Amino acid sequence: MTTTTETQRYGDFRTSWRTLALTGGVIALVGLLAIAFPLVSGLSLAYGLGALLVVSGIVHGVHAFSAESWAGSFWQIALAVVGVIAGVLVLANPALGLVSLTLLFVAYLLVDGATELWMSLRMGSRSGRGWIAASGAISVLLAAFLWAGFPADATWVVGLFVGVSLLATGLSMVFVAMASRTIDEDVTSPATEPRSA
């Protein structure tokens, strides 16, 4: 018999575990496709980024003409012009968008790795320090590896990492759904047993 706390904690997942599992399966499948075709998925992301930049620029432009103060309008117009130009450039040349995204990813890995290495040094002799240091070192090495292959690796790295991220997200959703299904079976099975006199 489960407690009220367990019912509150797992109730939402128990009633929708099939939907969660199906959604996770679809996301994992999309992730596998992105891993199999990293250039296509990377170019799709670049086109999406370009479109978002254009839309963002248009929104800033519309807002600039509705702003009451000229100072606010000036910055909104500047953002609008930059957003539209950047978006059009990425849409006209999506490879440029891939190069930019790859550079951002390399920068992220460097910052992440340096932060984790610094944290591991500050931890002293606490447990888990080695794992954090290893994670930081891997991030820095991966950034160095990508930088050494730049710009050639821009054709695959963004799509591959997005695919891995989608696959991990989808699988985690499926695992949560399966765990919720097990909880649901544990809760409902005693109700089907006949009562003793």
**What pLDDT digit, counting tens, does each position of 115-138 carry?**
988 988 887 777 777 888 888 898
Task: Report the pLDDT value the prediction gives residue 1, as an integer from 0 to 100.
Answer: 46
Question: What are the residue boundaries of the structural domains of the chain, listed by start?
Answer: 19-185
Rounded Cα–Cα distance for residues 155 and 187 (Å): 50
Q: Which segments of the chain have a pLDDT < 70?
A: 1-15, 67-72, 182-197
CA distances from 135 to 116, 138, 190 (A): 7, 5, 46
pLDDT value of position 33: 93
pLDDT at 127: 73
What average pLDDT is seen over the chain? 80
pLDDT at 182: 63
pLDDT (0 to 100) of residue 37: 92
Residue 29 has what pLDDT? 94
What local confidence, expressed as pLDDT, does residue 20 receive? 83
- Rounded CA gap, 186 and 123, in Å? 42
